[in-house]
Structure 1
């Protein structure tokens, strides 16, 4: 009976899904800046109510107030709302999209509103004003 040596561990004992997730993060966010923006333990994270500017590679920057932050790993996204000539416009921005160069926080509110998702501000007296850069 022939006994073979065991195969070397390719992932260093790390779970497969954790290994794949880390490989995707290294590919899509090598500096780690985008991960810091959605990390709940970071006091400088993105929160609903912040006014941000999103810079793309081949487009003009997009400005708006964050009304929702979806934290789900690589599929994390923010929903921005702005008024352009009196019409409310919302843009869903995937954070780890390769075309998103950076996300700058322009202004933070003095006090944050309750709840994480501010869908209730649409078409109310609380709705955002036109934000210019």
Structure 2
């Protein structure tokens, strides 16, 4: 009769998906800064209405006002809007993309608007002006 030694505890007793999510966060965001930027419990989190600058590895920084923050784990993203030569331009920025080095908050509004997603400001008097550094 063959007796095997017991297998080691896998995943430290965590459920499989929680373990995989933590492994992905550790791989894509080793410092934890990006995750802290989207946590709802953090008072300094990214919110719709903030003006931010996104720095990429091999590209010029992208600047704009946040219209929407999508919080969905590793697929989290922000939608930026800016005016370039009078034309409204929107950029969807995945937060955990390895090419995104950092996201700096340039300006916060005095008071936040009541909605989480500011799609309604497109082409209205509330639309963002040309945002520069």
TM-score bracket, normalised by the shorter chain, equals over 0.9
**1:1-133 alignment to 2 at 5 Å?**
4-133=4-133
CA shift for structure 1 position 8: 1.3
Normalising to structure 2: TM-score of the pair? 0.97
How many aligned positions are there? 133
Alpha-carbon distance in structure 2 between the residues aligned to 1:88 and 1:81:
7
CA shift for structure 1 position 3: 5.0
Unaligned runs of 5+ in 1: none
CA shift for structure 1 position 37: 0.4
- Tell me the secondary structure at the aligned position of residue 120 of structure 1: helix
CA shift for structure 1 position 51: 0.1
Alpha-carbon distance in structure 2 between the residues aligned to 1:104 and 1:34:
11
Alpha-carbon distance in structure 2 between the residues aligned to 1:2 and 1:30:
43
Alpha-carbon distance in structure 2 between the residues aligned to 1:25 and 1:4:
35
CA shift for structure 1 position 12: 1.4
Alpha-carbon distance in structure 1 between the residues aligned to 2:5 and 2:103:
50
Q: Deviation above 2 Å: which 4+ runs of structure 1?
A: 1-6
Unaligned runs of 5+ in 2: none
| RMSD over aligned Cα atoms | 1.0
